[in-house]
Every structure is written in C-alpha cells, then in structure tokens.
Structure 1
C-alpha cells in the first residue's frame, strides 16, 4: 500500500469523507491554511513557544477539514472533479497514463522543491524562499487538481461508452 493511501486511511478518508472533501469550501479553505500555517510558524519569532498554539489550531483544522463540509454527490465544480479524480488516482494509479503521468511526476517534483524551499525559509525566517516555496506548492497543487479533474472526466466518459 502506498504512503498516500495509508495517509488517506489514517485521515479517515471514507467515501463520505471524499465527497465532503470535494466541496469547494473544503478545497479553498485548505489552500487558505497555507499562509495561516506560515504565519503560525513564523510567529515563533514574536511569541516563542506559544507559536505551537496557532500551529496546532491549523493542524486540527486540516484534520477536520475533509469532514466538516456538506458532501458533493455530483462533481460539477472544477474543485470537486479534481478531488473525485484524486480519489480515483489513489485507488488505481494505472488510470494515469502517458502525458498525464509525466505531468504528475513533474508536479510532484515542483511540490517537493516548493516544500524544501518553504521549510528552509521557515527555519531561517527568510521571506523569499518561504514565499517562493509556498507559491510553488500552490501552483503545483492547483495544476494537480486540474489534471486529476481531467482524469475524472475521462474516466466518466469511458465508463459511459
């Protein structure tokens, strides 16, 4: 079992949780958590160990997020199709073929580079790697959602034929 599948199981990602996570409010509030987490970690400079309180609040929110919004039964929005596609991809990696697989690998590399820059920036309290890393992560995730949404649409079309 892959690391991502294990994480999804540990996070309680049941079919119902995936439908709730497909709600656009779930997706966009997770993106909103990126600058909140950055600010929470950066706040260690001002409030010391008390920074763990806002960090903990963001972590709790990220854990609860896929479970608190109404379920999306019909993925009509861009974000919902992307999350439904992510669920498909986690269940069967062979659905991603050809160019989609190459782009998926590129997006993983962009995300890893962004994460490394973000961590460096947060440790050193340097603005440019922090902002650049967060930007790479965000762009990579948005592109990934788009590609997984295309995967979902292609899968739906193939299952109707």
Structure 2
C-alpha cells in the first residue's frame, strides 16, 4: 500500500505520528506541494539555487511532522485525518469495507493528477501543471476527509465511552 511505503520512507514512529496529529503540522504541510511545484516550475530561472531550494523543501517535508508538539486534544478535523491515516496503514483489519472503494477512487484521481502535474512540470506547460496540481490538492484533501470519516467510524464517541463506563 502506498501509504505504508510513505510512512516507512518518512520514518514515522509512534512519537512522530503523535506530533503530526498537531493541526499546525497538518496545515503547514499543505504549503509543501505548491512550494515544490513552484520550485520545479522555476528551475531554469533559479539556476544553481534550484538544488538548495529543493533540498530545503524536501527537508521540510521530512521534518514537519517532527517539529510540533503533540496536540492537547484530537477533536478537530486535521488531527482526526492523521489518526484515520494511521488506522488505514497499521490497522487495516479495522477499516470498514465501505471505505475501500472510495479510497481506491481517491487514489486513482491522486495518481492521475500527479502524472498530469509531473508532465506539465516536465514540459513546462502551465495548464497541465495547474490542473494536475489542483487535482492533487483536492484529492489529497478528499483523502484526508475520508480518513476523518474512517477514524470516526471505528473510534467510539465520547458519549458511547461514557455510557460504557457508566455500565461498569
């Protein structure tokens, strides 16, 4: 699975995942894709500065989940998106079947959008780059929203937990 490979590549330990659940980490990471696309788009204009800029951006992608503290609570969209992604990667048996088809569609849209964006960047064609980038950002947002839904569907709500504790 693509997400598991990415998690291994980024060395996402439990501690790193907990820090990445901080909304500041999630939202600041959204800046990475447009900045990487801009760096690749302006590679000729940047000249030799292209490589240090690219390295700094890639380093930020790797460091980002490590730069923030654990969130005080996870009752927000960004944190739950990260927690849902962890369930998808590490606890696949907990994922309800209803999510699989949608995740497959999202992954397909994300893959096609990435290819369109990459081709646009390679040929420096603005429309393909823009449409592909928009597709990547929207499909990633759709994926994160699905992860929130996944997290909420497999995690008991506070009301359910309170009712269970009252029974015991």
User: Partner of 1:146 in structure 2?
Assistant: 145
User: Partner of 2:31: helix, strand, or coil?
Assistant: helix
Rounded to whole Å, the distance in 2 between the matches of 1:147 and 1:19 is 19
After superposition, the Cα gap between the structure-2 partners of 1:138 and 1:77, relative to the gap in structure 1 and judged at 3 Å, is same
Shift of 1:97: 2.9
Deviates more, 1:24-33 or 1:91-100: 91-100
Question: What pairs with 1:29-68 in structure 2 (closer than 5 Å)?
Answer: 29-68=28-67
Q: Match for residue 87 of structure 2?
A: 88
What is residue 17 of structure 1 aligned with on the other side?
Answer: 16
How well do the aligned residues superpose, as a CA RMSD in angstroms?
A: 1.8
Matched residue of 2:75: which SS?
Answer: coil
Q: Where do residues 110-129 of structure 1 align in structure 2 (5 Å cutoff)?
A: 110-129=109-128
User: By how many angstroms is 1:74 displaced?
Assistant: 2.8
> How many residues are matched?
160
TM-score scaled by structure 2?
0.87
Whether contact under 8 Å (2:87, 2:95) holds in the other structure is: no
Q: CA deviation at 1:3?
A: 5.0
In structure 1, how many angstroms separate the alpha carbons of the residues matched to 2:95 and 2:135? 22
1:65-102 deviation digits (Å, cap 9, x = unpaired): 01001112531110100100100110122333333111
Where 1:13 maps in the other structure, the secondary structure is coil
Question: Does 36-45 or 47-56 show the bigger shift?
Answer: 47-56
Deviations 1:112-135 (A, max 9, x none): 011001100110111111111111
CA contact 1:19–1:73 (8 Å) conserved in 2: no
